[in-house]
Amino acid sequence: MLIENLKTALEALFGNRLRSLLTLSGVVIGVFAVTTTVSLGQIATAGITGELQAFGAQSLFVTRVFDDPTSERFTDDDIEALSRLPIEILRSRSTNVWVVAGDERVRLSVNGTTANAPLIDRTIELERGRFFDERDAARGAPVIVLSADAVEALFGSVADPVGREVVLETAGGNRSFYTVIGTKKRISGALGAFANDVSGDVPLESLFRDVPGLRRGSYDFLPITIALDRDANAIEQQVRAILDRRRPPGSYQVQSIEGALGLFNTVTVILQALLGGIGGISLLVGGIGILNIMLVSVTERTREIGLRKALGATPRTILQQFLIEAVVLTVIGGSLGVLLSIATLWGVVAAVPFLEVFVLSPWVIAMALGVSVATGVIFGVWPARRAAALSPIEALRYE
């Protein structure tokens, strides 16, 4: 009997193709919206979490609060006080200058840093040449390591710019000649959307010497790497305690990778819930459409229902027939919504560089199809019960 009711339901749906298509479109849109938003959140979380974890759980970033007038730059004395802890601190200072190579003149973000920068800053990966060493850093050598974007802007299609000379032009017309000793790889993944820029790394001593107006030994932020055998949370509290004794409260911030991941995951969950709720509204509208069409179908097939009852069909059989029809309609809509979502997600991952991982959890598909079935049952029960309750005599008299 179940198979027979399923065949009858399919015949009824395919007998009114246009109406069935328009009805299930609401379910398609709702399931597509819910599946896509949840999966996009998972894809973004997987991509960005992987990128942040690449820095290591044992990393801290201490920054000053730029909009706080009491927040001064960190000093060598601050670094010396913190260096008593089992940590490694990267000294760095950035500013913008003009850089000239041949006929090209572009704006460059120049970063003065120390020779151990590649060990602490995980975004530094060399394409060609080398990074400056301790000897270069100590004597303030006029050498520079360019980013991939800077190489492209200054040298275009030149195969290897290592050994070429560039000129840094600063305020007041100061010109300093630097030799390119290395180039960095373009940053891929989620960080590439933010970290790729026209920039160059030079020894910190070179920056303070050649760029007027920069106070020697002052820093806007302090990247910190904690020894692997130490408790990162305990070290973070000790860093805060030391800085609290040296600086006004609230004039600095300490951020950890773990904290950044927690904040990002919280924001992602909230966005998924909001966008999923919007998709749920679409699904609700689709369910109301199914309710409406099933009521119309019951009215149109009143004589058919009366005839089937007169031939011995029980109210249970009639109820089952119309309920199956509603469920089949929503399952087809849900399946189409999932397929459309998969195609969209593949397209998004292919088009957006930092979304490198395709994620579509089985539970998301199960949830989408389960919600589709539930929608069919919830919005199909009333029309089905109404059909089952019809009197065969009154149904046969219906015009």
pLDDT in tens, 228-278: 778 888 888 999 899 888 888 788 888 877 777 777 778 777 877 777 777
Tally of CB atoms within 10 A around 377: 14
Spell out the residues 6+ positions from residue 278 whose beta carbon is closer than 8 angstroms to its own.
33, 37
Output the pLDDT for position 313: 67
In terms of DSSP H, where are the helices of the chain?
2-15, 17-54, 76-82, 117-120, 134-139, 148-155, 189-195, 204-210, 232-246, 257-300, 302-310, 315-351, 362-388, 392-397
Question: At 204, is the pLDDT very low, low, confident or very high (cuts 50, 70, 90)?
Answer: very high
Return the H-helix or E-strand segment holding 94: strand 92-101
pLDDT at 349 over 90: no
Average pLDDT value for the chain: 79
8-state DSSP, 162:
T
Spell out the residues 6+ positions from residue 384 whose beta carbon is closer than 8 angstroms to its own.
294, 318, 319, 320, 321, 322, 323, 326
What percent of the chain shows pLDDT beyond 70? 78
For range 62-68, the mean pLDDT: 81
**Count of helix runs (H) and strand runs (E) in the chain:** 14, 13
Single-letter residue type at 281: I
Tens-place pLDDT, residues 92-138 = 898 999 999 988 899 999 999 999 888 877 778 899 999 999 999 99
For range 268-293, the mean pLDDT: 75
Q: Rounded to two decimals, what is the model's pTM?
A: 0.62
